[in-house]
Structure 1
Amino acid sequence: MATYDAERIGSSPWLLTGPAMLVFVTLLAAPLVLTGMLSLNLFSDTKGVIPVYTFANYLEVFSDDYFHEIFLRTGGMALAVTLFCVLLGVPETLIIARMHSPWRSLFLLVVLGPLLISVVVRTLGWAILLGNNGLINQVLQALGITEFPIRMMFTQFGVVLVLTHVLVPFMVIAVWASLQKLDVQVEQAGLSLGASRMTTFRRVVLPQIMPGILSGSIIVFALAASAFATPAIIGGRRLKVVATAAYDEFLGSLNWPLGAAIAVLLLIANLVIVVGCSRLAERRFKHVFE
C-alpha cells in the first residue's frame, strides 16, 4: 500500500505540469527551434531560402562592423534605461509605500496605470510631445530657454526617455514586492539607536530591497534590449537597434535566415545577461532571499 502511494505521489507532479509543459513546448519552444534552424540556412537573391545548413549568417553578424554598432547601441541604450528606471523607480516606490490610504493606492494606480495602455499608443503620444512642433519644444521656446526647436525625435535620448517611461512600472512592481517584506520596526530601531535617516536607509533598508532592485533591473534590461515598437517609432530608420534590424532583414530584404540569426543572437545575449545577473544576485544576497 505504501509503495502504491509513493508511486502515485511520484507521478502527480508530471500529471499536474503536463498541460503547462505542452503549451510551453507548442507556443514557445517549437517556434524558437524553428527560428534557430532557419538561421542556419543560406539565402540567395534569386532562389530565396536554401535548405543548406551553415554558420555563414552568424559569421556575417560577427564580422560586420554594422552589426557590431547595432548590438553595442542596443546594449548601451538598455543599460541607460535600466539606470534611469532605478533612479526614478526606487525613490518613487519608497515614497508611495510611506503614504497613507487612500493616497497610497491612488498614486500606485497612477504609476501602474500606463501598463493598461498599449505600448504603441504611449509611444505615439510621446512622438507628438517630442516633435519639433511638439508641446515640449513649444514650452521651451515660450519660456525663452531655447531659440530653436531641440531635435529629440530619431535620437538615442528620445528612445531612452520613452523606454524609461514605458518600463519604470516594472521596476516599481519589483521594488514594491521587496518592500512588503521589510520590517518597519527594524528601521525604527536603527533611528532610535541614534543612526541618521541616510545611515538607516543605507545599512537597513537598502540591503532589504536590493533583491527587488536587481530583479527589476533584470526585467527592465531584458525588455529594453528586445523592445521593437518604441525604437521603431521614436528612433525611426536613422537609429536601428537589434529588434528593428531583424525586422528589416525579414520584411525589407527578405533575408529570413540572417534575420533569424540576429534574433537568436539577441535571445542568447539576453539569456546570458539575465542568468548571470540572477546567479550573482542569489549568491550576493542569499541571506536576504532566505
Structure 2
Amino acid sequence: MATLEDSRAGAAPWLLSSPALLLFGALLFVPLVLTLLLSFRVFSDVAGVEAAYTLKNYAEVLSDPYYGEIFLRTAGLALAVTLLSVLLGVPETIVLARMKRPWQSLCLLIVLGPLLISVVVRTLGWQILLGNNGVLNNALQAFHITSEPIRLVFTMTGMIIALTHVLVPFMVMSVWATLQKLDPQVEWAGLSLGGSPLRVFRRVVLPQILPGVLSGSIIVFALSASAFATPALIGGRRLKVVATAAYDEFLGTLNWPLGASIAVLLLIANVAIVMGCSRLAERRFKHIFE
C-alpha cells in the first residue's frame, strides 16, 4: 500500500504540470516539424511551393559557396560576440557581486537596462553612435584622434559591438546566479593560507563560477548566431548572416522551401556546436582543475 501511495505521490507533479508541458511542447515542436517538412518541398517560379518533395534545397545550400560564406560569417560573428561577452561580463559580474548596497542594485540595473529596451531601438541607437557623422566619429575627430570618419556601420566590427552590448546582460545574469552560491569565506581562507589573489581566483573562484560562464556562453552564442534585427540593421544587405539570408528567401524571392532549409541547417549547426563545445570545455576544465 505504501508503495502504491508513493508512486501516486511521485506522479502527481507530472499530472498537474502535463497540460502546460503539452501546450509548450506543441508550441515548440509543431512549428519546427512544419518548417522541416516545408524544407523538403519543391519550389517553382511559376507554381510556387509544390506538393512534391526533394533534397535539392539542402544540396543547393550545402554546395553553394555563397551560403558557405554566410554560415562561416555567422559562426565567426557568434564566436567573437561570445568571447567579448566572457571578457566583459565575467569581471563585471565579479565587481558587481562585491559592491555594497545600494550601489550594487543601481549598477546591476544599469547593466541589465538594455534588456528593457526593444532590440530595434537599441540597434538604431548604435547606428546613430557608429555612423560616419555619429557621436563616436565626431568625438574622435574633435580630439584629433582620427582625421576622417571610421567606417563602423555595415561592417563586421559594428555588428560585433552592437550584439555584444545586447547580449552581455545574459552573461552577467548567468555568472551572477553562480556567484550568489559562492561562499566568500572560502576565498578568504585561501588568501589566509598564503595563496596569491590570482591563484585563489584560478583554483577557488573560477571552478565554482565556470558552470555560469559555460551556460552564459551557450546562451550568448545561440542568440548571436540566430540574431536577425541587429545584423540586418548594422550589417546591411552586403554582410548577410544566416538569419537574414533565410528572411530574404522567405520574403524576397518567396522561395519558402529554400528559406526553411537554411533555417533548419542553422538550427542543426547551432545545436551541434553548442553541445560539442559545452562537453569539450567541461572535460578540459575539469582536467585542468583536478
Q: CA deviation at 1:200?
A: 1.2
Aligned partner of 1:26 in structure 2 is 26
Q: CA deviation at 1:50?
A: 1.1
Q: CA deviation at 1:28?
A: 1.5
Q: CA deviation at 1:25?
A: 3.1
Runs of at least 5 residues in structure 1 that lack an aligned partner in the other structure: none
Any idea what the Cα deviations from partners look like across 1:103-158, whole Å, max 9, x if unmatched?
11110111011111111110110011111110001001111111111110000000
Q: CA deviation at 1:207?
A: 1.1
Q: Percent of counterpart pairs with the same letter?
A: 72
Q: CA deviation at 1:19?
A: 1.2
SS in 2 for 1:247: helix
**Corresponding letter in the other structure for 2:66:** Y
CA distance in 2, matches of 1:53, 1:9: 48
CA contact 1:226–1:242 (8 Å) conserved in 2: yes
**Corresponding letter in the other structure for 1:166:** V
Matched, 1:244 2:248: no
SS in 1 for 2:53: coil
**Corresponding letter in the other structure for 2:243:** A
Distance change in 2, residues 1:151/1:282 (3 Å):
closer
CA distance in 1, matches of 2:210, 2:14: 35
Q: CA deviation at 1:17?
A: 2.7
Q: CA deviation at 1:238?
A: 1.1
* Paired residues for 1:193-204 under 5 Å: 193-204=193-204
* Paired residues for 1:265-280 under 5 Å: 265-280=265-280
CA distance in 2, matches of 1:8, 1:195: 53
Distance change in 2, residues 1:14/1:100 (3 Å):
closer
Any idea what the Cα deviations from partners look like across 1:45-84, whole Å, max 9, x if unmatched?
0110011111110111110000000000000000000000
Aligned partner of 1:136 in structure 2 is 136
SS in 1 for 2:52: coil
**Corresponding letter in the other structure for 1:144:** H
Aligned partner of 2:118 in structure 1 is 118
Distance change in 2, residues 1:25/1:186 (3 Å):
closer
Q: CA deviation at 1:251?
A: 0.1
Q: CA deviation at 1:183?
A: 1.4
* Paired residues for 1:1-290 under 5 Å: 1-2=1-2, 4-6=4-6, 8-9=8-9, 11-280=11-280
User: Scaled by the length of structure 1, what TM-score is found?
Assistant: 0.94
CA distance in 2, matches of 1:38, 1:253: 16
SS in 2 for 1:50: strand
Any idea what the Cα deviations from partners look like across 1:190-234, whole Å, max 9, x if unmatched?
111112111111111111111111110000000000000000000
Q: CA deviation at 1:11?
A: 4.0
How big is the alpha-carbon RMSD for the aligned residues of Structure 1 and Structure 2?
1.7
Between the two proteins, the alignment pairs up a number of residues equal to 287
**Corresponding letter in the other structure for 1:244:** T
CA contact 1:86–1:217 (8 Å) conserved in 2: yes
CA distance in 1, matches of 2:217, 2:41: 35
CA contact 1:211–1:281 (8 Å) conserved in 2: no
SS in 2 for 1:146: coil
Runs of at least 5 residues in structure 2 that lack an aligned partner in the other structure: none
Distance change in 2, residues 1:127/1:37 (3 Å):
same
Distance change in 2, residues 1:5/1:281 (3 Å):
farther
